[in-house]
């Protein structure tokens, strides 16, 4: 398959991108608003072309443990779900992190807590960026704002996961999952051969071969001195990720006197609000974190020395605002504006919140 | 060029499909496109709506509170979205089943009796294509050839014999305004 321009939903784009990346397996269980990922994969039947396995598991828990199994053998495997389903996967995700396994997890967030609503949300920010499961670990969290990024972050997520041997997550909101946009699909990459896999993943449990000992993949270590060493190694990986993999995008920040920080689709709604604000002479800029972990602390820290106040806009009760406050180190007031339960703010509401919460004189 | 459109009506009236065909036509004409549906249980009945944006530059927000053009296909949608049309914009509505008419005078209000026209075409499924024809006559944002090319691309081949009927419906819609 060559590069191709298509019109499709973000969820469909994830499925196409996974096949074209040369992923080895997808294990999932349907849940709105991300069911199109599994549906599209089933429709495209990649097992007949690239040999990619697509399997509807009996539950979210089964799916993440199939990912654990596949990842242990060095295969590029993934799962996707939406908020309540991702909660179910947390034990498996913690095990993946502790076993230093690469994997891609997609969460197309819906409103919570509980079974909540099927409408869009960003209320899983804490769960995604602060661990989610038990123990000291982080996932690399990518936050797409366009259907193109839904596509591109599949390859990026897998590449980063393999580079650092840690799971990566695409943390999308229901809007970008359900919305259709123009997208450029990358050309088909071949799946890795067994030889390539053995060379690239010397840790993988894929048969002893000519190795002296079998590889054992486990998260269990009964000797505390060794378990502490494991933890120190994980932390060193996280330090390297924080040093090298921060990604964010700035808009209108050169002359900004105020700053909005927002991620995912909400950042685009904010951009429209900012365009309206600038027409009224309010000099406001936008910082959109692309990686929510590692968080763009330095970029926000730097801007906090330039602006008079910061507003975060989120589809939650105020989660990323805490990271922005830490990054701003109390230099300027940092406020939050959010809608919850599946409600989406419009540009006018955001502009009103900006003016009110940051006390901007007009 | 940038056109921000909302189409709203009952689930089953072809609201989302109409938006999709318009979005595909935009793609055919090399425009930037977003298609943002309400994706609740509306598709099984109740009210459904879709926001379609066509632009020759990058599109920021896919979520809007005002629109250049609104197509309202039932009373609830008309009541809810009449005041969401930008001043100078266009409001298209189907008068069948409408009891309270739109009152705004700063926009152009166009009734299109697509229900009646679809009966004349002897196929109620042409309903949304008739409305799309009317919309494109009033707001020629994409060409009819782009619509037909988009339709050809999205329709499974077993339905391709319906393409001439769709073209007829599009032209019928154009003749109504």
CA dist A313 to A115, A118, A214, A237, Å?
Answer: 24, 20, 50, 30
pLDDT for A192 equals: 97
Q: What percent of chain A has pLDDT over 70?
A: 100
The minimal CB distance from A182 to the residues B32, B61, B63 is found for B32
Judged by CB atoms closer than 8 Å, whether chains meet at A180 and B63 is answered as no
* Smallest Cα distance from B122 to chain A, Å: 31
Residues of B in contact with A273 (CB under 8 A): 61
Which among B60, B67, B152, B154 is the top mutation candidate for probing chain A, defined by the most A β-carbons within 10 Å of its own β-carbon?
B60
For residues B56 and A30, what is the distance between their CA atoms, to the nearest angstrom?
A: 36
Crossing angle of helices A147-164/A224-244, nearest 10°?
Answer: 140
pLDDT above 90: percentage of residues in chain B: 86
Residue B47 near residue B76 (C-beta atoms within 8 A): yes
Q: With CB atoms and an 8 Å threshold, state whether B35 touches A275.
A: no
Find the domain containing B161 and state its range. Answer: 2-175
A4-194 homologous superfamily: Thiamin diphosphate (ThDP)-binding fold, Pyr/PP domains (3.40.50.970)
Q: Are B8 and B72 in contact (CB under 8 A)?
A: yes
Span A80-137, pLDDT tens digits: 999 999 999 999 999 999 999 999 999 999 999 999 999 999 999 999 999 899 999 9
Chain A contact for B137 (CB, 8 A cutoff): no
Fold category of A248-357 in CATH: Rossmann fold (3.40.50)
CB contact under 8 A, B32 and A179: no
Residues 45-104 on B with a CB inside 8 Å of A are 59-65
Give contacts of A271 with chain B, Cβ < 8 Å: 60-61
User: Using omega within 30 degrees of 0 as the cis cutoff, is the peptide bond preceding B82 cis?
Assistant: no
* CA gap A129, A266 in Å, rounded: 18
Residue B55 belongs to what H/E stretch? strand B47-55
Cβ–Cβ gap A272/B65 under 8 Å: no
How many of the other CB atoms lie within 10 Å of CB of A236? 10
> Locate tokens 């955001």: which residue?
A350
Q: What is the pLDDT of residue B3?
A: 97
Contacts of A272 in chain B (CB under 8 A): 60-61, 64
Domain count, chain B: 1
B23 touches A: beta carbon within 8 Å: yes
Cβ–Cβ below 8 Å for B61 and A7: no
A179 CB within 8 Å of a chain B CB: yes
In A, which residues are within 8 Å of B60 by CB distance? 268-269, 271-272, 275
**Pair of tokens at residue A335:** 């406020």
ipTM attached to this prediction: 0.91
Tell me which residue of B50, B45, B64, B46 sits closest to B18, measured CA to CA.
Answer: B50
Average pLDDT over residues A170-195: 97
Sheet holding B108-111, edge to edge: A4-9, A180-185, B32-37, B47-55, B2-10, B67-72, B85-93, B108-111
Give tens-digit pLDDT for B34-85: 999 987 666 566 789 999 999 999 999 999 999 999 999 999 999 999 999 9
- Domains A4-194 and A248-357 agree in fold: yes
User: Looking at residue B112, which CATH number applies to its domain?
Assistant: 3.40.920.10
For residue B42, give how far its alpha carbon lies from the nearest alpha carbon of chain A (Å): 12
Q: What is the pLDDT of residues B119-147, one digit of tens each?
A: 999 999 999 999 999 999 999 999 999 99
Report domain extents, chain A: 4-194, 248-357
């Amino acid at each position: 398959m060559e590069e191709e321009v298509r019109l499709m939903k973000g969820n469909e784009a994830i499925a196409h991108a996974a096949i074209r990346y040369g992923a080895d397996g997808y294990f999932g269980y349907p849940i709105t608003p991300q069911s199109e990922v599994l549906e599209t994969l089933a429709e495209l039947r990649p097992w007949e072309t690239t040999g990619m396995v697509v399997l509807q598991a009996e539950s979210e828990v089964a799916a993440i443990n199939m990912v654990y199994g596949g990842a242990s053998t060095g295969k590029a495997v993934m799962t996707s779900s939406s908020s309540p389903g991702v909660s179910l996967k947390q034990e498996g995700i913690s095990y993946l992190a502790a076993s230093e396994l690469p994997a891609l997890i997609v969460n197309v967030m819906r409103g919570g807590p509980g079974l909540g609503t099927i409408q869009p949300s960003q209320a899983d920010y804490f769960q995604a960026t602060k661990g989610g499961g038990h123990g000291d670990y982080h996932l690399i969290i990518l936050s797409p704002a366009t259907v193109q990024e839904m596509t591109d972050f599949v390859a990026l997520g897998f590449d980063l996961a393999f580079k650092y041997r840690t799971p990566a997550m695409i943390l999308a909101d229901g809007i970008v999952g359900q919305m259709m946009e123009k997208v450029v699909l990358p050309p088909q990459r071949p799946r890795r051969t067994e030889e390539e896999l053995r060379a690239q993943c010397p840790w993988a449990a894929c048969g002893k071969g000519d190795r002296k000992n079998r590889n054992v993949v486990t998260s269990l270590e009964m000797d505390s001195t060794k378990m502490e060493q494991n933890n120190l190694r994980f932390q060193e990986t996280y330090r390297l990720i924080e040093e090298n993999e921060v990604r964010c995008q700035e808009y209108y920040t050169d002359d900004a006197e105020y700053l909005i920080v927002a991620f995912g689709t909400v950042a685009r709604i904010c951009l429209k609000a900012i365009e309206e604000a600038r027409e009224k002479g309010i000099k406001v800029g936008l910082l959109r974190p692309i990686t929510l972990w590692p968080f763009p602390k330095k970029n926000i820290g730097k801007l906090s020395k330039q602006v008079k106040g910061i507003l975060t806009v989120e589809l939650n009760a105020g989660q990323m605002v805490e990271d922005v406050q830490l990054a701003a180190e109390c230099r300027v007031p940092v406020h939050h504006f959010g809608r919850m339960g599946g409600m989406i703010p419009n540009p006018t509401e955001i502009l009103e919140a900006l003016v009110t919460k940051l006390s901007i004189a007009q | 060029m940038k056109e921000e459109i909302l189409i709203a009506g009952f689930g089953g009236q072809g609201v989302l499909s109409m938006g999709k065909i318009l979005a595909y036509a935009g793609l055919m004409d090399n425009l930037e496109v977003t298609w943002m549906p309400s994706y609740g249980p509306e598709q099984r009945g109740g009210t459904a709506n879709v926001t379609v944006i066509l632009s020759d530059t990058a599109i920021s927000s896919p979520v809007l509170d005002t629109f250049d053009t609104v197509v309202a296909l039932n009373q609830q949608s008309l009541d809810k979205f009449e005041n969401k049309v930008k001043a100078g914009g266009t409001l298209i509505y189907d008068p069948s089943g409408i009891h309270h008419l739109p009152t705004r005078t700063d926009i152009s209000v166009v009734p299109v009796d697509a229900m009646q026209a679809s009966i004349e075409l002897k196929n109620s499924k042409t309903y949304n294509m008739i409305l799309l024809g009317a919309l494109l006559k009033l707001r020629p944002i994409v060409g009819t050839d782009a619509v037909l090319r988009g339709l050809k691309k999205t329709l499974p081949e077993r339905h391709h014999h319906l393409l001439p009927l769709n073209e007829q419906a599009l032209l019928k819609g154009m003749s109504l305004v």
